[in-house]
Structure 1
Amino acid sequence: MKEIKIFCPASIANLSCGFDVLGLCLDNIGDEMIIRTVAERGIRITKITGADLPLETEKNVAGVAALALINEINPGCGFEIEIHKNIKAGSGIGSSAASAVGAVFGINELLGKPFSRKELVYFAMKGEALASGSEHADNVAPALLGGFTLVRGYEPLDIVQIESPSELFAIALHPQIEVKTVDARAVLHPMISLKSAITQWGNVGGLIAGLCTNDYELIGRSLQDVIVEPLRKVLIPGFDDVKLAALKAGALGSGISGSGPSIFALCKGEENAKNVSIAMSENYKNTGISFDIHVSRVNPIGVKIIN
């Protein structure tokens, strides 16, 4: 292959209790990228649509991730990248992760797959660091691997894939405002109480157990965040009201998607998810802020080649 076209999915990170360690891959929301092999070595970003992002390789998330990969393997060729953004930057559903994941996945495919998908997470994290100021894998891991992912550890990087229960659906409501990841991290406290930590650990364990046993009620009880959400929700107008509307309509749980401003909800069954989506939409109209809303299955595959 000399050229490849790929779908780079959006993702929901943190999932309330799992700050920087949990994420899920969305199915019908994502970017598209075209990557081609060229004789001249290095990485060139030739085209970006759908967003005002830099073409300079070192200033672009996809470019930085791609450079990390080729610097590791030193191929005897270069690559051109076209990025067609459908995930808005600063949306909280993994826009930067999609770019980083698409770049490393596409180049790896063109080179004959020298790295596994799990190994590609390391390179994609380098791109995430440009966007947020820190290397984290809670978006890039599910976007690469599909389903739910748990980052058990970062030193060394240890990622666990978790299959999604078959009837689980996700909703993502994206207000048309931007919350930059660096700003959302700035409001967090570096120290937390032991009581809060114990509550959070219990919820993370409960969520993992619920996913592995298809226990939807346990999943719902575990979608609670006593550490990050109370600090970040002030950045999202109408958050408490729309979360309450989602729960009253039958959502298993609801919270901040990534660093925000998107608000997610998890539901059992497609019909229930559609009803929750309507309730969230009707409620959020009261803010006067424009928004998009998506209902999606959990994507079991992650980034993929398309025609």
Structure 2
Amino acid sequence: MKKIKIKVPATVANMVCGFDILGMAIHEPYDEMELKLLDSPEIIIKHEDRFGLSEDPSNNVAGVVLQHIQQHLKLTTGFEVTIRKHIKPGSGLGSSAASAAGAAFGANALLGNILSKEEMVHFAMFGEELASGVRHADNIAPCIYGGITLVKSSSPIDIIPLNTPDLFVAAVHPQVEVKTSDARQILKKNILLKDAIEQWGNIAGLVTGILKNDIPLIGRSLNDVIIEPVRSILIPKFEEIKAKSLKMGALGGGISGSGPSIFMLTERKQTAQDIARMMKSVYDDIEVESLIYVSKINPVGIEIVEKEY
């Protein structure tokens, strides 16, 4: 294969209580990436979007991933990548993970699918390290595997794909900046044992609910007593939006990744649409621009749109 065009979905990391270990893919928004195999070993990055991201391969999330793949496989060929981002950087919806996972997935397809999914995650994590300083896989895994994934371990990589419940996601991205690095720095270094026990129960309940398709159990497990109380102070109107969403019928939800996006899970599409409109209205009232998305959980992850041989 000489050229491939792919559609790379946004992802919601943590899923409230599963900090750095749980994530899910959604349909909207998504990035578009085109990758070409080159005869020479150079790596060329082109951005066709408005975000001003570096096109220097060593300072670009996709470029770093391709460099590591190239070095590991001792390739004499290179890659040209054209990226059209619709997942805004710093949104909390897996923007950097989309570029990293898309680069690993696209390169693997061009090379004849010689890498396993675990290996693609391994290489994509170098992109996340460039973006946030931490090699985490909670966004990358659902992007590559689709659906909801559990990162049992990042070293060695141990990814467990879970079921994909028939649920809807309402998400809002208020146009305020929350850097992942900053959101990590404010986290507590020590936590109380009673809080840890409650959190473990929530994570176990959420995973069990997903595997059993037990919707009420999923709802009552979407609770975070460790991360959300600290990070939510960075997101204006978070508590109001969460309270109103629950009153309107949301199963639960919280901060998407490190924020500022907020997501809610619902059983019905109409409920998700109503909640999304409410979210936008709350931010309109304080004159903060926002983007809203309503999507089902994406069971596929990255999709191939076009191939050229």
TM-score bracket for this pair, using the shorter chain length? over 0.9
Task: Report which stretch shifted further, 86-95 or 40-49.
Answer: 40-49
Measured in 1, the distance between the counterparts of 2:215 and 2:193 equals 28
TM-score, scaled relative to structure 1? 0.97
The residue matched to 2:33 in structure 1 has which SS? strand
Tell whether the 8 Å contact from 1:89 to 1:178 is kept in structure 2 after alignment: no
Structure 2: gaps (5+ residues): none
Structure 1: gaps (5+ residues): none
Tell whether the 8 Å contact from 1:242 to 1:284 is kept in structure 2 after alignment: no
Tell whether the 8 Å contact from 1:238 to 1:287 is kept in structure 2 after alignment: no
1:244 alignment partner AA: A
Shift of 1:21: 0.3
Tell whether the 8 Å contact from 1:37 to 1:110 is kept in structure 2 after alignment: yes
Give the corresponding residue for 2:55.
Answer: 55
Shift of 1:269: 2.0
1:263 alignment partner AA: I
RMSD: 1.1
Shift of 1:44: 1.6
- CA offset digits 1:76-125 (Å, max 9, x no partner): 31111111110111000000000001111111000001112232001111
How many residues of Structure 1 are paired with residues of Structure 2 in the alignment? 306
Measured in 2, the distance between the counterparts of 1:72 and 1:243 equals 45
2:20 alignment partner AA: D
Measured in 1, the distance between the counterparts of 2:251 and 2:187 equals 26
Measured in 1, the distance between the counterparts of 2:215 and 2:285 equals 30
The residue matched to 1:81 in structure 2 has which SS? strand
2:99 corresponds to 1:112: no
Runs (4+) of structure 1 moved beyond 6 Å?
Answer: none
Measured in 2, the distance between the counterparts of 1:276 and 1:213 equals 26
Give the corresponding residue for 1:291.
Answer: 290
The correspondence of residues 131-146 of structure 1 with structure 2, limited to 5 A, is 131-146=131-146
Give the corresponding residue for 1:202.
Answer: 201
1:227 alignment partner AA: I
Give the corresponding residue for 1:9.
Answer: 9
- CA offset digits 1:228-250 (Å, max 9, x no partner): 11111111111111111111111
Task: Report which stretch shifted further, 280-289 or 61-70.
Answer: 280-289
The residue matched to 1:49 in structure 2 has which SS? coil
The correspondence of residues 151-166 of structure 1 with structure 2, limited to 5 A, is 151-166=151-166
Tell whether the 8 Å contact from 1:62 to 1:99 is kept in structure 2 after alignment: yes
TM-score, scaled relative to structure 2? 0.96
Measured in 2, the distance between the counterparts of 1:297 and 1:73 equals 37
2:185 alignment partner AA: A
Tell whether the 8 Å contact from 1:196 to 1:227 is kept in structure 2 after alignment: yes
Tell whether the 8 Å contact from 2:5 to 2:305 is kept in structure 1 after alignment: yes
